Structure 1
């Protein structure tokens, strides 16, 4: 299924049809410093060899760090959703402050008073652009949510986009069009993601990146944001990636992509399928690594690498099958640490690097102040994060940072006794614009927002403990874990160490109450609207 597509693309390349390569070096006014910020979709930190994965999944990143970079092996997102995480990185603000808490939140939820990194750098004379593959879309990559970019070279989103992507199932179409001429003739299709299939979209996306870097190399300094979505659920990366870390003799339903039921809780009897799915995911991580290597190679070819700070992070992590559960993907009813731990790498940070590997806990909110300090620019007051430069320079070994996080949209409604809401098809809908035309995007039923917000599972993680808070229909379930001795979080210590549980619950509440829609009633987080739980009630379980 995959080999013919890759082979056809290779044939197109041999015939000289594949996208151009900028051979000239940037000879304009570029003085730097420049910044390239790369987001990686669904990227689990522990699946990168640079962070200890036993197979060589990230050799390009490994080499880049060895040549002059630093990797943070305990980096965390604050949400297991893309939009909330990306906007948090760009604002150094938690989601309840910036307002964009899911892919279904329209621009009207954005808080314009918060300064965004693109706007700050634009005001300092940087040329600013964002270039994304199919998953970095206009839902949030726009002038209202993330103002300050000179150019938004991003994908569409919604039903129209998905209809276009149907054509990707015909490999002959990709074989004939995945080249420079085809990219121009079918630009709308490829901008929509090349059919949600990396076998077709990576080539097109790389050509756009190369073109933008060549143009930005003629500016005085620039800030470029990129987004790679290769490991997105359900991990269908093309040849040769799907076979790099999987069993060559496997012929089951998960041969090329994960097709088993992702919500199964029990693992026994599914070991081979679990290994296959994890292998598929690892292959997609290696494709991410190749794409990061492509960006680094392009910077080097254009003579920009030594003047450019390259920052790489994941938008969130990913749940994968293991010995405790077969579940995989992510969901608003899941609170596994794997969904929140992400890679974070700084290449050529323009300061002396004490150690290439830093084990101290760091967070998404810390990225923006770190970039600003590395550029020698003022850090605005009121940010939720702190600069990581002391860790990079070796001036500190640990900043003793607490991690706060919350889940996103419940793609699969939580099971009782946990608080939930109706399935996606009942809480999102289309809208019409002012002229009456149907908008090809989805929007949340606003009457459900208060219940959805209260239903988020939340956690706080300190230097030793992690406390989780899972809302139920009549309160919440609180659990305390000593993650240093129990990293899988299997032993609840809340009853054994009530004083620790109470202290961390108080700290978690103080953080959560930064959300003006929440309050406390009878010792639990509650919606400020007392009628919130009367609306958007899910149907009873069958």
Structure 2
């Protein structure tokens, strides 16, 4: 069959490409209608009272955001139409119907692949749940890819048979593939020959409990990449956070100060209440280092200029982020989960809060490339906080098959369950199932960490990098409360081993060397900054609560340390764990206010109530002194552990001294003491 002239090809293709783009826009319109339909995903929120500010903040942003989403749909439709037309022509069937059929088949194959990779993308669509359940249990990524490969080979063979130019095209394709391979090889060699600037990498894994590590009693199956790093690092087995919530914990981490000195006492703290202090990142920046902070979730933890990082890679903060959860444009998870999509609609693709749309492993690979690139350009401090173990808690393939039994309901396998814990509440699941899902999410975060570490190894930068691995807090599954078995996990509600004990490990440049593999001395999250600065030869922070742990890394002794800690602000009412506790902080949308720029922050009345509600305590590894505000206006001071002797009295005196610098509650309360 004679080939059509170029002008004829263009005339036959453009209408089909246009139809594809129109179909993409129609798909966008259909999804928009479903999203806005009353009761589907909660878009029918009231627009008066406290929500008025929320709606006002979102209104200027939404049109541009939706236009960019619509553009993705249009381009995807056009690309599917082009691919469908090309495949149809391989068989000599240039009709519009054949092109449309090929494009539709491509779309279905793509959906099949994503349903296996990230089933949370479809888990709230009742019509596909039976098929999705089967895929979750039996589907493998190679299944749709094998079908695509066979399909493409068949089309290629048909085209070669029909076309006299087939052999020439095959040789041209082979040549291009060879050139591409040589280019990639050159990139790898160039990376290894690049200048070796100093490199400090700080990796945080949200909610990681150290009892998941083999050396701390775990199975060793949850975090193999962390376990491998620990072969070259020193693990601090008794490390603790002063507050078991991400935003205040990171503020204490950056400043080396207790929460009441930073002013950040809970998530979504108002900027006006932050006590601006120097951070270790600021010291690195002033010394000429490149400083980068990255996280895949900014809903309850966003770093601003006060963090000291010159560049901050994170989803949008505030009202827009909460809106995005409602705008579940599923086709974005099909069409845009790659580098180009992340560049065009990063609010969706690089946002952990969007179940199924966010691809955690693709995100980690892009971030790893960014880390290596930054390290080539000069001395670099690169911090990454991985939040897989946070809501919506949707494990991707293969992690959703690791630990949760297949007998559990589909919704329990694919998403974290959330229900507020109140007095008299019962757990909605079994504790074993809740912890198994948590372990799957930690395994997913561990794989992200592994992507960064492997990129450093490929670039030849792993050995000479200073790598510090930490968690900001632990997680409680209410092990001491049988009535709460399976209730929503929580951190920040109590001062405890489960919630306050953290992961902390340091790999110096060149490996651990003669440093101990394990250090059992009590250390704190506030000690991280001073340690990094000393190891990097930079000036220390002055007037801080943290100390450098370098002596312990050298195998030397360090004066015993004590932890000052306080509870955060969670969905759990404190009287659940302490009957008679003062319960006054509000737990509704009224607790927050929306700034004109869309930032969500705690309101002044809620701030005062939260401070009044907090438990505060001191811990030295042997005992806790804890002050608990009571509903009758008093404060109950309780001691847990070895409460007799001079050491107990010394810790209590230290506790009183630290509290003397705390922000005083607005309602004065007498104290009564109890041991």
**Normalised by the shorter chain, which TM-score bucket?**
0.7 to 0.9
Corresponding residue number in structure 2 for 1:471: 629
Q: Distance in 2 between matches of 1:69 and 1:394?
A: 13
Q: Distance in 2 between matches of 1:349 and 1:517?
A: 44
Corresponding residue number in structure 1 for 2:481: 324
- Find the partner of 1:157 among 310, 317, 330: 317
Which has the larger strand fraction? 1
Corresponding residue number in structure 1 for 2:333: 174
Corresponding residue number in structure 2 for 1:5: 118
- Find the partner of 1:367 among 528, 539, 546: 528
Q: 1:508 to 1:369 in 2, by over 3 A?
A: same
Q: CA deviation at 1:55?
A: 4.5
Q: Which runs of 5+ in 1 are unaligned?
A: 433-438, 484-492, 526-542
- Find the partner of 1:412 among 554, 561, 572: 572
Confirm whether residue 510 of structure 1 aligns to residue 672 of structure 2: no
What's the TM-score once normalised by structure 2's chain length?
A: 0.67
Q: CA deviation at 1:260?
A: 6.5
Q: Distance in 2 between matches of 1:336 and 1:117?
A: 28
Q: CA deviation at 1:124?
A: 1.4
Q: Distance in 2 between matches of 1:430 and 1:292?
A: 34
**Aligned residues, how many?**
495
Q: 1:408 to 1:245 in 2, by over 3 A?
A: same
- Find the partner of 1:97 among 245, 254, 261: 261
Q: 1:193 to 1:61 in 2, by over 3 A?
A: closer
Confirm whether residue 285 of structure 1 aligns to residue 449 of structure 2: no
Q: Distance in 1 between matches of 2:385 and 2:271?
A: 20
Q: 1:64 to 1:98 in 2, by over 3 A?
A: same
Confirm whether residue 141 of structure 1 aligns to residue 299 of structure 2: no
Q: 1:331 to 1:411 in 2, by over 3 A?
A: farther
Confirm whether residue 457 of structure 1 aligns to residue 615 of structure 2: yes
CA contact (8 A) 1:37 1:224 kept: yes
Q: RCO greater where, 1 or 2, for CA within 8 Å and sep 6 or more?
A: 1
Corresponding residue number in structure 1 for 2:241: 77
Q: CA deviation at 1:173?
A: 3.6
CA contact (8 A) 1:230 1:285 kept: yes
Corresponding residue number in structure 2 for 1:539: none
Corresponding residue number in structure 1 for 2:600: 442
What's the TM-score once normalised by structure 1's chain length?
A: 0.82
Q: Which runs of 5+ in 2 are unaligned?
A: 1-113, 120-138, 153-183
Q: 1:353 to 1:289 in 2, by over 3 A?
A: farther
CA RMSD, 1 decimal: 3.3
SS of match in other structure, 1:284: helix
SS of match in other structure, 2:560: coil
Q: CA deviation at 1:413?
A: 3.4
CA deviation vs aligned residue, 1:253-291 (integer Å, no higher than 9, x gap)? 523234264627789998x71101111111111112111
- Find the partner of 1:394 among 539, 555, 559: 555
SS of match in other structure, 2:335: helix
CA contact (8 A) 1:30 1:221 kept: no
Corresponding residue number in structure 2 for 1:132: 295
Q: Distance in 2 between matches of 1:296 and 1:506?
A: 44
SS of match in other structure, 2:278: coil
Q: CA deviation at 1:306?
A: 2.1
CA contact (8 A) 2:388 2:444 kept: yes
Q: Distance in 1 between matches of 2:541 and 2:278?
A: 8
Confirm whether residue 383 of structure 1 aligns to residue 544 of structure 2: yes
Q: Distance in 2 between matches of 1:515 and 1:207?
A: 42
Q: Distance in 2 between matches of 1:216 and 1:507?
A: 43
- Find the partner of 2:403 among 245, 262, 269: 245
Counting only pairs closer than 5 Å after superposition, residues 144-293 of structure 1 correspond to structure 2 as: 145-147=306-308, 149-168=309-328, 170=330, 172-193=331-352, 195-197=354-356, 200-233=358-391, 235-251=393-409, 254-259=412-417, 261=419, 263=421, 273-293=430-450
Q: Distance in 2 between matches of 1:349 and 1:459?
A: 36
